[in-house]
Amino acid sequence: MIRPAQLLRLGHIIRVLLRHGVDEFVEGTRVYRPLRLLRSLLLIRPSSGRSIPRGQRVRESLQELGPIFVKFGQTLSTRRDLLPRDVADELAKLQDDVPPFASSAAREALAGFYGRPVEQVFDRFDSEPMAAASIAQCHGARLADGREVVLKILRPGVRKQIRRDLDLMYAMARLVLRLWPDYRQLRPVEVVAEYEKVILDELDLMREAAAASQLRRNFDGSELLYIPEVHWDYCRPGVLVTERIHGIPIGDIDALNARGVDMAILAARGVEIFFTQVFRHNFFHADMHPGNIFVDAGTPESPSYIAVDFGIVGSLDPRDQQYLAENFLAFFQRDYQRVARLHVNSGWVPRDTRLDEVESAFRTVCEPIFNRPLSQISFGQFLVRLFTVARRFGMEVQPQLILLQKTLLNIEGLGRELYPDLDLWKTAHPILEEWMDERVSGRAIINRLREQLPTVGESLQEFPQVIHGLLQQASEGQLEIRVRTSGIDELREENRELARRRNVAMAGAAILIAAAVLIGLDANPVWLGWAAGGTGVWLLLKARS
C-alpha cells in the first residue's frame, strides 16, 4: 500500500512535471484529461514557461526531481533516433552538466573518508569540479609522487534521496499488480528490484573500483579500449581515485572530424567492444553514455576508446548468453523456427507453447526488417521486438536481460550518431560465430571437464553410500520401482537404444575425464592426452546420433 509520505512524493513529482509544462507532450491524448484535472486540484496554473524551449523544460524538471530521474534522462539521451533533436540535445547535458554541489561539501566529505584534511592527503586538490552527474561529481588532484588523478565523490544525501524514490517505485509496482493482475507477467516488482540492485551498487565506489580493475585486465594491451588505472590506497566507499586520462569526448563530433578520425572504424570498434565484453568476457560496461566515453585520436586512422565511470556493470548467466548468441545468428539467417525453439528451450516461453504459432509471430514481426539495407537493421530494436512477441505467449520479463538491452540500445545509438551507415551485423557476426565455435571445440569441452573434476570427485565419493542405501532398502523389502506400461514394446525398444547411447556416452565421458587428467598432469607423450580427448568427444557425438 502506498504510504502518506509516498503519496506526497508522488504529488511532488506531478507538480514539478506540470509546473515545467511537461504535460505538453501528452496534449491531445487520453492521458491529458486526468492531468488537466490534477493540475486544477493541485492549484497549478498552466505553465507560464512555455516560451522556454521544451527540451530545457524536460531537462530542468528531471534535474529537480533527483538522481533516479536524471539517470532516466541520461538513458533517453543516447537514443536520438527515438527523440526530437531539441529534446535529445538538452538531455545530453545530463551526462556531465548537472549542477555541482559546493566544493566545501566535497572537502568535508573527503576529510571524513580519510580522517584528515584533504591537503594532507593530496599534493593538490582542485576545488572547481571537472564534471557533475546525478550520483557524484569529479575533481582533479595530484598525488604526492606527482601523478595526476581524478576523484569521484558521492553527492551528500544521495543515498536517502534514492531510497525514498525506490520505496515509491516498489509501492507503485505492487499497486499495478493489485489493480491490473494481467500485468503480472511483466514482473514489475522484480524489475524494480533489479534496478534497485544496479543503483545501490553504483553508490558503492569500492565496487566500482573493482569493476574498473576487472575491465582493465580484460582489455590489457588491447587497441580497442583503455581503462584508467585505479589507485587503491586512496579509494573508499564514498570516493574513487583513478588515473587522469585525456581524450576527445565521444559526443564532440566536430572535434573528432577536425582531427581526421576515421568515423567508420570508430563506430565499428564500439560495437566490437560491446560484443567482446558480453560474449568473450561476460563482463560489460553497462553505462556507456557519451559522458563516460572518450576517444584517443593520437592515431586518427586507428582511433581507440577510453572509458570512465564503471558504476554499472553486468554479466549474463551462461545459458542466457548462449541462447542470446544463437538468437542473433538465427535471426539474421531468417530461421524463425530456430528462434521459436530457442525461446521455448531457454524457458523464456512456456514449454507447452505451440512452436508453429511462435514461429509465425516472429516471422510476421521480423520479416519487414529485412526489406531495409542491412546497415539499417537495429540490434536493439530486434531485442525489443523479440521480447514484445515473446510476451504475447506468456514470456515473463527477464530482469537480467534488461541491463543488456539498455546497454545495446546505448551503444547502437552512439554508433549510428558517429557513422549513420554503420553495419552492426558485419562487425558482430564474426565475433558471435567465433565464440560459438569456441564453445563446442574439443579444448573448450576438456576445459569445462577439468573445471568440473572436483564436483565429479565429490559425487564419486558419495556413490558407494547411495548404492549401499539402495541395497539396504532392497534387502528390507522397502525398495519400490514404478513403471508406466503404456506402449510397453516401444518403451522396451527405446530403453535398449537409450542404454546403448548411455553406455557409449559414459565411455566417452570417462575417456574425456582421463584425457583432462593426462593434460593437467602434462603426461608424456603429450599427444596421448589430446588423442584420448578426441576419442572421448567422438564417442559423445556418436551417443547423440
Q: Alpha helices of 476-487 — where are they, by DSSP H?
A: none
Least confident of 66-70, 211-215, 263-267: 66-70
* Domain coverage including residue 429: 258-439
> Domain check: are 310 and 362 in the same one?
yes
With 0-12 / 13-18 / 19 or more C-beta atoms within 10 angstroms meaning exposed / middle / buried, residue 233 is exposed
- Split into its structural domains, the chain has a count of 4
> Domain check: are 325 and 350 in the same one?
yes
The verdict on residue 232 lying in a domain is no
The pLDDT, as a whole number, for residue 152 is 96
Q: How many angstroms separate the CA atoms of 147 and 141, rounded?
A: 9
The verdict on residue 44 lying in a domain is yes
Question: Which cell numbers hold the place of 366?
Answer: 521480423
How far is CA 530 from each of CA 29, 65, 434, 456, 540, rounded to the nearest angstrom?
68, 62, 22, 21, 15
> Domain check: are 523 and 408 in the same one?
no
Q: Considering the chain, what is the average pLDDT of its residues?
A: 77
> Domain check: are 314 and 292 in the same one?
yes
Q: For residues 510-519, give the mean pLDDT.
A: 59
Higher-scoring residue by pLDDT: 364, 535: 364
Q: For residues 287-293, give the mean pLDDT.
A: 82
Which residue among 439, 464, 481 closes a domain? Answer: 439
Q: How many angstroms separate the CA atoms of 374 and 176, rounded?
A: 40
The verdict on residue 290 lying in a domain is yes
pLDDT band at 28 (very low <50, low <70, confident <90, very high): very low
pLDDT band at 400 (very low <50, low <70, confident <90, very high): low
**Pair 201, 310: CB distance under 8 Å:** no
Percent of the chain exceeding pLDDT 70 equals 65
The amino acid occupying position 412 is E
For cell 536493439, the residue is 380
> Domain check: are 323 and 375 in the same one?
yes
List, by residue number, the catalytic residues: 287
The answer to whether residue 26 scores a pLDDT higher than 60 is: no
State whether residue 541 is helix, strand or coil.
helix
pLDDT tens column, 298-354 = 999 999 999 998 988 888 888 888 888 888 888 878 888 998 888 888 777 788 888
The pLDDT, as a whole number, for residue 410 is 76
Pick from 116-120, 195-199, 432-436, 506-510 the range whose average pLDDT is largest: 116-120
pLDDT tens column, 177-195 = 776 676 666 567 776 787 7
Q: How many angstroms separate the CA atoms of 232 and 202, rounded?
A: 17
> Domain check: are 427 and 507 in the same one?
no
> Domain check: are 434 and 454 in the same one?
no
Q: How many angstroms separate the CA atoms of 530 and 545, rounded?
A: 23
> Domain check: are 179 and 302 in the same one?
no
Higher-scoring residue by pLDDT: 351, 142: 142
The verdict on residue 478 lying in a domain is no
How far is CA 257 from each of CA 172, 243, 301, 382, rounded to the nearest angstrom?
46, 27, 12, 31
> Domain check: are 497 and 457 in the same one?
yes
The verdict on residue 513 lying in a domain is yes
Q: What is the DSSP string of 63-125?
A: HHH-HHHHHHHHHHHT-TTTS-HHHHHHHHTTTTBSPPPPHHHHHHHHHHHHTS-GGGT-SEE
Answer whether 0.85 is exceeded by the pTM.
no
The verdict on residue 71 lying in a domain is no
Decide the pairing of beta strands 148-154 and 136-142.
antiparallel
> Domain check: are 515 and 399 in the same one?
no
Nearest to 430 by CA among 438, 441, 422, 419: 438
Decide the pairing of beta strands 225-226 and 304-307.
parallel
> Domain check: are 265 and 411 in the same one?
yes
The verdict on residue 101 lying in a domain is no
pLDDT band at 56 (very low <50, low <70, confident <90, very high): confident
> Domain check: are 345 and 448 in the same one?
no
